[in-house]
Protein backbone atom coordinates (compact mmCIF):
# COMPACT_ATOMS: atom_id res chain seq x y z
CA UNK A 1 0.00 0.00 0.00
CA UNK A 2 1.44 3.38 -1.00
CA UNK A 3 1.99 6.12 1.57
CA UNK A 4 -0.66 8.28 -0.12
CA UNK A 5 -3.27 5.52 0.08
CA UNK A 6 -2.25 4.81 3.68
CA UNK A 7 -2.93 8.44 4.59
CA UNK A 8 -6.26 8.43 2.75
CA UNK A 9 -7.35 5.28 4.60
CA UNK A 10 -6.36 6.89 7.91
CA UNK A 11 -8.30 10.07 7.05
CA UNK A 12 -11.46 8.22 6.00
CA UNK A 13 -14.27 8.99 6.05
CA UNK A 14 -13.89 12.54 4.74
CA UNK A 15 -15.74 15.07 2.63
CA UNK A 16 -14.73 15.57 -0.99
CA UNK A 17 -13.42 18.98 0.05
CA UNK A 18 -11.10 17.37 2.61
CA UNK A 19 -9.93 14.88 -0.01
CA UNK A 20 -9.20 17.64 -2.57
CA UNK A 21 -7.43 19.72 0.07
CA UNK A 22 -5.15 16.78 0.92
CA UNK A 23 -4.43 15.94 -2.71
CA UNK A 24 -3.56 19.50 -3.67
CA UNK A 25 -2.09 21.11 -0.56
CA UNK A 26 -0.81 18.48 1.89
CA UNK A 27 2.62 19.61 3.06
CA UNK A 28 4.22 16.29 2.05
CA UNK A 29 2.11 14.77 -0.73
CA UNK A 30 0.15 17.75 -2.11
CA UNK A 31 0.22 18.28 -5.87
CA UNK A 32 0.89 22.00 -5.52
CA UNK A 33 3.54 21.50 -2.84
CA UNK A 34 5.78 19.29 -4.95
CA UNK A 35 8.75 20.54 -6.91
CA UNK A 36 7.51 19.33 -10.28
CA UNK A 37 6.50 20.61 -13.69
CA UNK A 38 2.74 21.11 -13.74
CA UNK A 39 2.18 23.54 -16.61
CA UNK A 40 3.12 23.23 -20.27
CA UNK A 41 4.03 20.39 -22.61
CA UNK A 42 5.92 18.43 -19.94
CA UNK A 43 3.24 19.02 -17.31
CA UNK A 44 -0.42 18.12 -16.89
CA UNK A 45 -2.21 21.14 -18.35
CA UNK A 46 -1.75 24.33 -20.34
CA UNK A 47 -2.67 27.79 -19.14
CA UNK A 48 -2.49 31.25 -20.70
CA UNK A 49 0.53 32.31 -18.66
CA UNK A 50 2.57 29.40 -20.09
CA UNK A 51 1.40 29.67 -23.69
CA UNK A 52 3.02 33.08 -24.36
CA UNK A 53 3.83 34.87 -21.08
CA UNK A 54 5.06 38.09 -22.70
CA UNK A 55 1.98 38.61 -24.86
CA UNK A 56 -0.37 37.61 -22.07
CA UNK A 57 1.25 40.09 -19.67
CA UNK A 58 1.12 42.88 -22.28
CA UNK A 59 -2.60 42.27 -22.86
CA UNK A 60 -3.18 42.32 -19.11
CA UNK A 61 -1.16 45.50 -18.55
CA UNK A 62 -3.25 47.41 -21.05
CA UNK A 63 -6.45 45.98 -19.57
CA UNK A 64 -5.41 46.99 -16.03
CA UNK A 65 -4.63 50.53 -17.17
CA UNK A 66 -7.86 50.95 -19.14
CA UNK A 67 -10.08 49.58 -16.34
CA UNK A 68 -8.33 51.92 -13.89
CA UNK A 69 -8.67 54.97 -16.17
CA UNK A 70 -12.37 54.37 -16.76
CA UNK A 71 -13.05 54.11 -13.02
CA UNK A 72 -10.59 56.62 -11.62
CA UNK A 73 -10.09 59.80 -13.72
CA UNK A 74 -7.00 60.91 -11.78
CA UNK A 75 -5.30 57.54 -12.17
CA UNK A 76 -1.51 57.66 -12.58
CA UNK A 77 0.31 54.50 -13.73
CA UNK A 78 3.34 55.17 -11.55
CA UNK A 79 1.24 55.05 -8.40
CA UNK A 80 0.36 51.37 -8.81
CA UNK A 81 2.30 48.13 -8.44
CA UNK A 82 1.53 44.68 -9.79
CA UNK A 83 0.76 41.81 -7.44
CA UNK A 84 0.40 38.19 -8.59
CA UNK A 85 -1.32 35.67 -6.34
CA UNK A 86 -0.74 31.93 -6.75
CA UNK A 87 1.78 32.14 -9.61
CA UNK A 88 3.63 28.96 -10.47
CA UNK A 89 7.36 28.98 -9.65
CA UNK A 90 9.32 30.93 -12.28
CA UNK A 91 6.13 31.93 -14.09
CA UNK A 92 5.37 35.39 -12.70
CA UNK A 93 4.21 37.65 -15.52
CA UNK A 94 5.09 41.18 -14.49
CA UNK A 95 8.57 42.54 -13.96
CA UNK A 96 9.26 43.64 -10.38
CA UNK A 97 5.80 42.50 -9.30
CA UNK A 98 4.94 41.37 -5.79
CA UNK A 99 4.44 37.60 -6.05
CA UNK A 100 2.54 35.59 -3.45
CA UNK A 101 3.02 31.88 -4.11
CA UNK A 102 0.59 29.19 -2.97
CA UNK A 103 0.88 28.75 0.78
CA UNK A 104 2.42 32.16 1.45
CA UNK A 105 0.51 34.60 3.68
CA UNK A 106 -1.54 37.35 2.05
CA UNK A 107 0.07 40.75 2.41
CA UNK A 108 -1.65 43.35 0.23
CA UNK A 109 -1.51 47.08 0.83
CA UNK A 110 -1.37 50.35 -1.08
CA UNK A 111 -2.24 50.91 -4.74
CA UNK A 112 -2.24 47.61 -6.62
CA UNK A 113 -3.09 45.78 -9.78
CA UNK A 114 -3.96 42.33 -8.35
CA UNK A 115 -3.88 39.37 -10.74
CA UNK A 116 -4.36 35.62 -10.49
CA UNK A 117 -4.60 32.90 -13.09
CA UNK A 118 -6.65 29.83 -12.18
CA UNK A 119 -6.43 30.47 -8.44
CA UNK A 120 -10.03 30.09 -7.31
CA UNK A 121 -10.77 26.94 -9.31
CA UNK A 122 -7.76 25.31 -7.65
CA UNK A 123 -9.20 25.61 -4.16
CA UNK A 124 -10.79 22.67 -2.29
CA UNK A 125 -14.42 22.17 -3.28
CA UNK A 126 -17.25 19.94 -2.13
CA UNK A 127 -19.87 18.00 -4.03
CA UNK A 128 -23.50 18.72 -3.20
CA UNK A 129 -26.50 16.75 -4.42
CA UNK A 130 -30.00 18.25 -4.62
CA UNK A 131 -32.51 15.45 -4.20
CA UNK A 132 -35.82 14.81 -2.47
CA UNK A 133 -36.06 18.43 -1.36
CA UNK A 134 -32.76 18.19 0.52
CA UNK A 135 -29.18 19.27 -0.12
CA UNK A 136 -26.77 16.41 0.54
CA UNK A 137 -22.99 16.59 0.83
CA UNK A 138 -20.79 13.87 -0.64
CA UNK A 139 -18.26 11.96 1.45
CA UNK A 140 -15.74 9.27 0.57
CA UNK A 141 -14.13 6.38 2.37
CA UNK A 142 -10.90 4.78 1.08
CA UNK A 143 -10.28 1.08 1.63
CA UNK A 144 -6.86 -0.60 1.76
CA UNK A 145 -7.59 -2.21 -1.60
CA UNK A 146 -7.80 1.27 -3.12
CA UNK A 147 -11.53 1.07 -3.64
CA UNK A 148 -13.46 4.26 -2.84
CA UNK A 149 -16.89 4.15 -1.19
CA UNK A 150 -19.11 7.18 -1.83
CA UNK A 151 -21.91 8.19 0.54
CA UNK A 152 -23.93 11.28 1.45
CA UNK A 153 -24.88 13.22 4.57
CA UNK A 154 -27.15 16.24 4.94
CA UNK A 155 -25.35 19.49 4.22
CA UNK A 156 -25.24 22.02 7.05
CA UNK A 157 -28.12 24.48 7.30
CA UNK A 158 -25.74 27.29 6.26
CA UNK A 159 -24.50 25.41 3.18
CA UNK A 160 -28.00 24.39 2.08
CA UNK A 161 -29.45 27.89 2.56
CA UNK A 162 -26.54 29.56 0.77
CA UNK A 163 -26.70 27.25 -2.25
CA UNK A 164 -30.47 27.51 -2.55
CA UNK A 165 -30.06 31.30 -2.57
CA UNK A 166 -28.28 31.03 -5.92
CA UNK A 167 -29.55 27.75 -7.39
CA UNK A 168 -33.06 27.51 -5.99
CA UNK A 169 -34.85 24.32 -4.97
CA UNK A 170 -33.36 21.89 -7.44
CA UNK A 171 -34.15 18.21 -7.42
CA UNK A 172 -33.68 15.04 -9.39
CA UNK A 173 -30.17 14.29 -8.17
CA UNK A 174 -28.54 17.43 -9.57
CA UNK A 175 -24.87 17.56 -8.51
CA UNK A 176 -23.06 20.83 -7.85
CA UNK A 177 -19.34 21.31 -7.25
CA UNK A 178 -18.94 24.36 -5.04
CA UNK A 179 -16.09 25.86 -3.00
CA UNK A 180 -16.82 27.83 0.15
CA UNK A 181 -13.05 27.87 0.62
CA UNK A 182 -12.65 29.90 -2.60
CA UNK A 183 -15.25 32.40 -1.39
CA UNK A 184 -13.36 32.83 1.88
CA UNK A 185 -10.09 33.33 -0.02
CA UNK A 186 -11.55 36.12 -2.16
CA UNK A 187 -12.96 37.79 0.96
CA UNK A 188 -9.51 37.69 2.60
CA UNK A 189 -7.95 39.22 -0.51
CA UNK A 190 -10.54 41.99 -0.69
CA UNK A 191 -10.35 42.80 3.01
CA UNK A 192 -6.65 43.59 2.83
CA UNK A 193 -5.73 47.28 2.92
CA UNK A 194 -5.38 48.02 -0.79
CA UNK A 195 -7.17 49.75 -3.62
CA UNK A 196 -6.94 49.41 -7.38
CA UNK A 197 -7.96 46.79 -9.95
CA UNK A 198 -8.45 43.04 -9.54
CA UNK A 199 -8.34 40.68 -12.53
CA UNK A 200 -8.80 36.93 -11.98
CA UNK A 201 -8.84 34.57 -14.98
CA UNK A 202 -10.52 31.25 -14.26
CA UNK A 203 -12.97 28.57 -15.41
CA UNK A 204 -15.90 30.64 -14.13
CA UNK A 205 -19.43 29.81 -15.22
CA UNK A 206 -22.73 31.49 -14.50
CA UNK A 207 -25.38 29.77 -12.40
CA UNK A 208 -27.45 29.32 -15.55
CA UNK A 209 -24.54 27.60 -17.31
CA UNK A 210 -23.89 25.30 -14.36
CA UNK A 211 -27.50 24.14 -14.37
CA UNK A 212 -26.74 22.28 -17.61
CA UNK A 213 -24.03 20.21 -15.86
CA UNK A 214 -26.25 17.78 -13.97
CA UNK A 215 -23.30 15.66 -12.84
CA UNK A 216 -21.11 18.57 -11.77
CA UNK A 217 -17.94 20.02 -13.28
CA UNK A 218 -15.20 18.37 -11.16
CA UNK A 219 -12.36 16.99 -13.22
CA UNK A 220 -8.69 16.13 -13.01
CA UNK A 221 -5.83 16.60 -15.46
CA UNK A 222 -3.02 14.07 -15.65
CA UNK A 223 -0.51 14.38 -18.50
CA UNK A 224 -3.05 16.49 -20.42
CA UNK A 225 -5.77 13.84 -20.18
CA UNK A 226 -8.96 15.04 -18.50
CA UNK A 227 -11.28 12.79 -16.51
CA UNK A 228 -14.25 13.24 -14.20
CA UNK A 229 -12.82 10.57 -11.89
CA UNK A 230 -11.08 12.76 -9.32
CA UNK A 231 -10.22 9.76 -7.12
CA UNK A 232 -7.64 8.37 -9.54
CA UNK A 233 -3.94 9.32 -9.40
CA UNK A 234 -4.42 10.97 -6.01
CA UNK A 235 -1.79 13.66 -5.37
CA UNK A 236 -0.33 13.14 -8.85
CA UNK A 237 -2.78 15.21 -10.88
CA UNK A 238 -4.47 18.58 -10.92
CA UNK A 239 -8.05 18.61 -9.59
CA UNK A 240 -10.30 21.48 -10.58
CA UNK A 241 -13.92 22.56 -11.14
CA UNK A 242 -15.87 25.47 -12.63
CA UNK A 243 -16.81 28.03 -9.96
CA UNK A 244 -20.13 29.87 -10.06
CA UNK A 245 -19.25 33.51 -10.71
CA UNK A 246 -22.26 35.28 -9.14
CA UNK A 247 -21.14 34.71 -5.51
CA UNK A 248 -17.73 36.21 -6.33
CA UNK A 249 -19.32 39.25 -7.95
CA UNK A 250 -21.47 39.73 -4.85
CA UNK A 251 -18.35 39.58 -2.66
CA UNK A 252 -16.62 42.27 -4.72
CA UNK A 253 -19.65 44.55 -4.43
CA UNK A 254 -19.96 43.92 -0.69
CA UNK A 255 -16.26 44.75 -0.21
CA UNK A 256 -16.50 48.19 -1.79
CA UNK A 257 -15.72 47.49 -5.45
CA UNK A 258 -17.75 50.08 -7.38
CA UNK A 259 -17.06 48.19 -10.60
CA UNK A 260 -17.44 44.41 -10.84
CA UNK A 261 -18.12 42.25 -13.88
CA UNK A 262 -17.28 38.92 -15.47
CA UNK A 263 -16.71 38.39 -19.18
CA UNK A 264 -15.27 35.76 -21.49
CA UNK A 265 -11.52 36.23 -21.78
CA UNK A 266 -11.71 36.97 -25.51
CA UNK A 267 -14.39 39.62 -25.03
CA UNK A 268 -12.52 41.13 -22.08
CA UNK A 269 -9.32 41.62 -24.08
CA UNK A 270 -11.18 42.85 -27.16
CA UNK A 271 -12.73 45.57 -25.01
CA UNK A 272 -9.75 46.51 -22.83
CA UNK A 273 -6.58 45.58 -24.77
CA UNK A 274 -7.28 46.91 -28.27
CA UNK A 275 -3.90 48.59 -28.83
CA UNK A 276 -1.93 45.44 -28.05
CA UNK A 277 -4.24 43.32 -30.20
CA UNK A 278 -3.86 45.79 -33.07
CA UNK A 279 -0.07 45.72 -32.74
CA UNK A 280 0.05 41.94 -33.07
CA UNK A 281 -2.45 41.82 -35.94
CA UNK A 282 -0.67 44.54 -37.93
CA UNK A 283 2.97 43.61 -37.31
CA UNK A 284 3.29 39.89 -36.56
CA UNK A 285 3.67 37.45 -39.42
CA UNK A 286 0.76 35.24 -40.41
CA UNK A 287 2.39 32.14 -38.93
CA UNK A 288 4.23 33.83 -36.08
CA UNK A 289 4.03 32.22 -32.61
CA UNK A 290 2.75 35.54 -31.25
CA UNK A 291 -0.18 35.68 -33.66
CA UNK A 292 -1.06 32.03 -32.99
CA UNK A 293 -1.00 32.70 -29.25
CA UNK A 294 -3.24 35.76 -29.68
CA UNK A 295 -5.74 33.62 -31.59
CA UNK A 296 -5.79 31.09 -28.74
CA UNK A 297 -6.27 33.85 -26.15
CA UNK A 298 -9.20 35.37 -28.04
CA UNK A 299 -11.12 32.73 -30.00
CA UNK A 300 -14.00 30.75 -28.47
CA UNK A 301 -12.75 27.25 -29.43
CA UNK A 302 -9.60 27.87 -27.41
CA UNK A 303 -9.09 30.03 -24.29
CA UNK A 304 -11.25 32.94 -25.45
CA UNK A 305 -14.47 31.35 -24.20
CA UNK A 306 -13.40 28.59 -21.81
CA UNK A 307 -11.72 31.13 -19.54
CA UNK A 308 -13.70 33.93 -17.94
CA UNK A 309 -12.27 37.09 -16.40
CA UNK A 310 -13.56 38.37 -13.07
CA UNK A 311 -12.69 42.06 -12.88
CA UNK A 312 -13.27 44.64 -10.16
CA UNK A 313 -12.09 48.17 -9.37
CA UNK A 314 -11.98 49.90 -5.99
CA UNK A 315 -10.52 53.39 -5.53
pLDDT in tens, 261-291: 999 999 999 999 999 999 999 987 777 889 9
pLDDT at 161 over 80: yes
- Give the model confidence (pLDDT) of 179-214 as tens digits: 999 999 999 999 999 999 999 999 999 999 999 999
Q: Looking at residues 154-169, what average pLDDT do you find?
A: 97
CA gap 235, 19 in Å, rounded:
10
Sign of CA dihedral 189, 193, 199, 205: positive
For 304, left (φ over 0), alpha (ψ -120 to 50), or beta? alpha
pLDDT of residue 283: 87
Task: Tell me what percent of the residues of the chain surpass a pLDDT of 90.
Answer: 73
CA gap 36, 203 in Å, rounded:
23
pLDDT of residue 96: 86
CA angle 155, 119, 208 (to 5 degrees): 55
pLDDT at 303 over 80: no
Classified as helix, coil or strand, 36 is: coil
CA gap 42, 289 in Å, rounded:
19
Q: How far is CA 63 from CA 29, 60, 220, 289, in A?
A: 37, 5, 31, 22
Q: How many structural domains comprise the chain?
A: 1
pLDDT of residue 71: 86
Q: How far is CA 193 from CA 111, 189, 248, in A?
A: 9, 9, 19
Q: What CATH number is attached to the domain comprising 54?
A: 3.40.50.12710
Nearest Cα to 152, choosing from 164, 162, 144, 160?
160
Which DSSP category does 1 fall into?
Answer: -
pLDDT of residue 50: 66
pLDDT at 83 over 90: yes
pLDDT at 42 over 60: no
CB 309 within 8 A of CB 263: yes
Q: How far is CA 174 from the centre of its chain?
A: 22
CB 155 within 8 A of CB 130: no
pLDDT of residue 48: 65
CA gap 61, 66 in Å, rounded:
9
> What's the predicted TM-score (pTM) here?
0.93
Domain hosting residue 284, numbered range = 3-314
Classified as helix, coil or strand, 130 is: strand
pLDDT of residue 44: 46
CA gap 246, 250 in Å, rounded:
6
pLDDT at 77 over 90: no
Mean pLDDT score across all residues of the chain: 91
Q: Per-residue b/e over 55-81, b at no fewer than 16 CB within 10 Å? A: bbbbbbbbbbbbbbeebbeebeeeebb
Which DSSP category does 78 fall into?
Answer: G
Amino acid sequence: MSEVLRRLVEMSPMSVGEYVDFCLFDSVFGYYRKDRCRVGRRGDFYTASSLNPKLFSDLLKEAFFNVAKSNFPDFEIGDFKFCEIGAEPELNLFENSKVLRIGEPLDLCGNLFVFSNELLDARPFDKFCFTGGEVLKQYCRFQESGKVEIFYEKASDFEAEYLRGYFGDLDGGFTLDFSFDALDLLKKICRQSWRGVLIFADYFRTVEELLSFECGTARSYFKHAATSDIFSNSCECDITFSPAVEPFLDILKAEGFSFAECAAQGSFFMKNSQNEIRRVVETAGVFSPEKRALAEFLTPPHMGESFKVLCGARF
